[in-house]
Amino acid sequence: MKVNKSTILLLTFFFLFISKNIFSQSTKTNEQRVDSVLSLMTQDEKIGQLVQFSGGWDTGAQSTKPKTGSEELIAQGKIGSFLNIIGAQTTKDLQKIAVEKSRMKIPLIFGLDVIHGFRTTFPVPLAEASSWDPALVQKSARMQAIEASSAGIHWTFNPMVDIARDPRWGRIVEGSGEDPFLGSSMSAARVKGYQGNDLSANNTIAACLKHFAGYGGAEGGRDYNTVDFSERTFRDVYLKPFKAGVDAGAATLMASFNEIGGVPSSSNRQLLTNILRDEWKFDGFVVSDWNSIGELIPHGVAKDLKQAGELAINAGLDMDMEASAYTKHLGELIAEGKVSMQTVDESVRRVLRIKFRLGLFDDPYKYCDTEREKNSVLTKEMRDVSHESAQKSIVLLKNENELLPLVKGKKKIAVIGPLGNSTLDPLGPWNQQGDAKQVVSLLQGIKNKLGGDAKIIFEEGCSLSGNEKDRFPKAVEAANQSDIVILAVGESLDMSGEARSRATLDLPGVQQELAEEIYKTGKPIIAVVMNGRPLTITWLNEHVSSILETWFLGVEAGNAIADVLFGDFNPSGKLPVTFPKYVGQVPMYYNHKNSGRPHNPKDNYTSYYFDYSNSPLYPFGYGLSYTKFLYSNLKLSAKKISTSDQLNISVDVKNNGLYDGDEVVQLYVRDLVGSVTRPVKELKGFQKISIKKGETKKVEFTLTNEDLKFYNLDMNFVSEPGMFNVFVGTNSVECLEDEFELTN
Ligand code: BGC
């Protein structure tokens, strides 16, 4: 065929037209783009995408630089991700190597533990869960994402959604407490906050649900310890917040350190593939926990790192954090036929998918704007949200004779205790780039509130965990010179968090003895307790007039506590976790089973402790207000419903006190007879409402068949016909009660 110039031109235009339409971003879906990238990659480049290294020495280290030699590996396409490297410029420099020097130009993804803030520290997650305010928690996560993303971070290893029923476990502070329903709502809120509506925006970051799964069930509350519970409990309780987070669109999950029933999570195919991918249809990727693949060796399921890598990737664990199992052995394992190319491709596809969704292929430097970094941290807006969150995280545990709120300016106040003027501890564990200089201490918060003329004396009295009592006399003297004592006691910031399990739940050191000495002065005492777990503050509860549980509240701690002390904010927090009276009672949680011999004081052979009581110090859902709420008129729309009906439940809540206030109205259900035993109560709904003094509000809930489902005798997720109790009230114990029947 004779081809002339105009035919060539025409063909060229035609080819350009076609190719533009096939390859341009606008016409290709992310999936097609993932496939085209994958089809061009060598085996080594694929393995590289599954490798994550840390910039620091240890987990949680705050490093700005990668380890020596990393640049070379990035240029060879042998690293897909870093953790613990921060800063718009540093991440830009490394990203530049990836997208300019490596053959495939695949951008790196930078992960970090942004647990409750980056530079602006927000209340610890357990505190925020006490707000029972998912919208607020979402807003707080949004702020954290804006700040972290400006410093080059694409991905946070949060939310931690482990159910924790044992306060000895230090990581209880990182989660949302003991309940799957509250935990699920916090999980979804945080995912939405971090990821926003558009993961490809430059101020949203990928979330990571961790630790998948069951990590909070560690025997004896000892971190990293063995977990062993039934599949039913696992699914009905521990997996729920993960499922909620996946449904909210979480981009990634982290496999946990623990085993369950003999199978460590990092080699658990049932968990990482059958449940997560096949049942839940999750299409993001799973990262290991720090060296959790390597830990398959001490767990005793792998003889060496190579076998550990084989078990992990075949189970569905996509990215190896710091074990080097994939980097060192995946190539050999593929060559030996122990790991198929298809398995590797699938893991790489998942990692690339999230990099595409983050928009990193379109603009790898979108998080690397040094100007934005300067202007987006510690802004007024961040501090305001942190302040609001801190106010709403505080739980009023006791308020005898309505000692609180205090009247401003009239009295001489002694602030006593090792946490009274601490600017470090309110940062809490995992505070990332938190800075004590930014923290308002309790003392400073009170001074800010009362202004220059206030008569405030401060005495530490003792250290947080030491045994010396030599400063007791000065503290007692300070109390004697004052009208009122604010006693700030609790834990230091590093007594909870990872590897921070405790065998006792008492106030550490001689703090309790200090409290006893101050009590002897006869002055009214308000205890302000800062801590990362429920403490057995039984003595305080019996002796001091008022108690505020403040957890670790972040940069605005002192201001928020002062707002509550002086009545500028009416406390509305409720406990997301049961407080035991004695450590020997744990694990203690409200949604326990009844047993065949529930405690009956008239019958010795029933389930109880003969030396102490069965009841908690404070139950789940508990928290007081300066006002009083009266519940009445519990109404159910029907006495009988079928599985296709919905039940409407309403209650009147009257603010019968002297202040406007917020109340968390809680709905619980008990399934009285099932094919398997059911908990004595289960939270099925809650609403946080504002009620003006004197006002009554009708609060309405709906229950559907979905809410009544559980894993029955045959492990099917169904509801079963029969009688149900309904409880509506101010906490898990004080409720109005009614019942209904579910028919087929
Ligand atoms: C923790 C994780 C954390 C990781 C990275 C591990 O030790 O268990 O929660 O995300 O380190 O710092």
The DSSP annotation for 288-327 comes to PPTTTTTTHHHHTS-SSHHHHHHHHHHHT--BEES--HHH
Confidence tier at 499 by pLDDT (50, 70, 90): very high
**Average pLDDT, integer, range 145-152:** 97
For the chain, give the percent of residues with pLDDT over 70.
95
Collapsing DSSP to helix, strand or coil, 413 comes out as strand
Q: What is the pLDDT of residues 651-696, one digit of tens each?
A: 999 999 999 999 999 999 999 999 999 999 999 999 999 999 999 9
Which are the contacts of 290, defined by CB distance < 8 A and separation ≥ 6? 54, 59, 321, 322
Burial of 575 (0-12, 13-18, 19+ CB in 10 A): buried
Atom of ligand 1 minimally distant from the CA of 211: 9
Ligand 1 in contact with 498 (CB < 6 A)?
A: yes
For residue 549, the model assigns a pLDDT of: 99
Q: What is the CA radius of gyration of the chain?
A: 28
Task: Output DSSP code: residue 190.
Answer: H
Pocket test for ligand 1, best of 289, 319, 320 (most atoms within 8 A of CB): 289
Q: What is the pLDDT of residues 584-608, one digit of tens each?
A: 999 999 999 999 999 999 999 999 9
Ligand 1 in contact with 361 (CB < 6 A)?
A: no
Ligand 1 in contact with 113 (CB < 6 A)?
A: yes
**Average pLDDT, integer, range 277-299:** 98
The widest CA-to-CA distance across the chain, in whole angstroms, is: 110
Task: Output DSSP code: residue 627.
Answer: S
Confidence tier at 18 by pLDDT (50, 70, 90): very low
Ligand 1 in contact with 290 (CB < 6 A)?
A: yes
For residue 28, the model assigns a pLDDT of: 86
How many angstroms does the Cα of residue 60 sit away from the middle of ligand 1?
Answer: 7
Q: Evaluate whether 364 touches 138 at the Cβ level (below 8 Å).
A: no
Confidence tier at 66 by pLDDT (50, 70, 90): confident
Residue 79 CA, chain-centre distance (Å), reads: 28
Tokens of 324: 């080097």
How many angstroms does the Cα of residue 322 sit away from the middle of ligand 1?
Answer: 11
Confidence tier at 467 by pLDDT (50, 70, 90): very high
Q: Evaluate whether 529 touches 482 at the Cβ level (below 8 Å).
A: no
Ligand 1 in contact with 162 (CB < 6 A)?
A: no
For residue 24, the model assigns a pLDDT of: 46
**Average pLDDT, integer, range 122-135:** 98
Ligand 1 in contact with 56 (CB < 6 A)?
A: no
For residue 411, the model assigns a pLDDT of: 84
Q: Check whether 20 has a pLDDT greater than 70.
A: no
How many angstroms does the Cα of residue 210 sit away from the middle of ligand 1?
Answer: 9
For residue 453, the model assigns a pLDDT of: 76
How many angstroms does the Cα of residue 271 sit away from the middle of ligand 1?
Answer: 19
Nearest CA to ligand 1 atom 10: 157
Q: Check whether 7 has a pLDDT greater than 70.
A: no
* CA atoms within a 13 Å half-sphere pointing along the CA-CB vector of 663: 30
Atom of ligand 1 minimally distant from the CA of 160: 9
Q: Evaluate whether 265 touches 256 at the Cβ level (below 8 Å).
A: yes
Nearest CA to ligand 1 atom 2: 289
Tokens of 539: 């003595």
Burial of 149 (0-12, 13-18, 19+ CB in 10 A): buried
470 labelled catalytic:
no
Q: Evaluate whether 585 touches 469 at the Cβ level (below 8 Å).
A: no
Q: How far apart are the first and last CA of the chain?
A: 77
For residue 27, the model assigns a pLDDT of: 67
Residue 310 CA, chain-centre distance (Å), reads: 31
For the chain, give the percent of residues with pLDDT over 90.
92
How many angstroms does the Cα of residue 257 sit away from the middle of ligand 1?
Answer: 10
How many angstroms does the Cα of residue 327 sit away from the middle of ligand 1?
Answer: 20
Task: Output DSSP code: residue 729.
Answer: E
Q: Check whether 19 has a pLDDT greater than 50.
A: no
Average pLDDT, the chain: 95
Q: Evaluate whether 654 touches 695 at the Cβ level (below 8 Å).
A: yes
d(CA 498, CA 476): 36
Amino acid, res. 661: G
Atom of ligand 1 minimally distant from the CA of 158: 10
For residue 484, the model assigns a pLDDT of: 97
Among residues 162, 166, 236, 289, the one annotated as catalytic is: 289
Q: Evaluate whether 192 touches 248 at the Cβ level (below 8 Å).
A: yes
pTM beyond 0.85: the answer is yes
Pocket test for ligand 1, best of 225, 287, 290 (most atoms within 8 A of CB): 290
Ligand 1 in contact with 59 (CB < 6 A)?
A: yes
How many angstroms does the Cα of residue 256 sit away from the middle of ligand 1?
Answer: 9
Nearest CA to ligand 1 atom 8: 289
Atom of ligand 1 minimally distant from the CA of 257: 8
Tokens of 709: 């489902």
Pocket test for ligand 1, best of 498, 500, 501 (most atoms within 8 A of CB): 498
**Average pLDDT, integer, range 612-624:** 96
**Average pLDDT, integer, range 252-277:** 98
Q: Check whether 4 has a pLDDT greater than 80.
A: no
d(CA 144, CA 732): 32
For residue 320, the model assigns a pLDDT of: 98
Q: What is the pLDDT of residues 424-449, one digit of tens each?
A: 999 999 999 999 999 999 999 999 99
Q: Where is pLDDT greater, at 158 or 60?
A: 158
- The helix/strand count (H/E) of the chain reads as 22, 26
Ligand 1 in contact with 60 (CB < 6 A)?
A: yes
Ligand 1 in contact with 210 (CB < 6 A)?
A: yes
How many angstroms does the Cα of residue 496 sit away from the middle of ligand 1?
Answer: 14
Burial of 428 (0-12, 13-18, 19+ CB in 10 A): buried
Q: Where is pLDDT greater, at 16 or 391?
A: 391
Ligand 1 in contact with 289 (CB < 6 A)?
A: yes
Q: Check whether 58 has a pLDDT greater than 70.
A: no
How many angstroms does the Cα of residue 499 sit away from the middle of ligand 1?
Answer: 11
d(CA 355, CA 360): 6
Q: Which parts of 114-179 fold into alpha helices (H)?
A: 125-129, 134-149
d(CA 552, CA 490): 10
* Strand ranges (E), 187-329: 208-212, 252-255, 259-260, 263-264, 285-287, 320-321
Pocket test for ligand 1, best of 157, 162, 224 (most atoms within 8 A of CB): 157
How many angstroms does the Cα of residue 151 sit away from the middle of ligand 1?
Answer: 20
Pocket test for ligand 1, best of 85, 113, 320, 496 (most atoms within 8 A of CB): 113
Q: What is the pLDDT of residues 344-393, one digit of tens each?
A: 999 999 999 999 999 999 999 999 999 999 999 999 999 999 999 999 99
How many angstroms does the Cα of residue 477 sit away from the middle of ligand 1?
Answer: 45
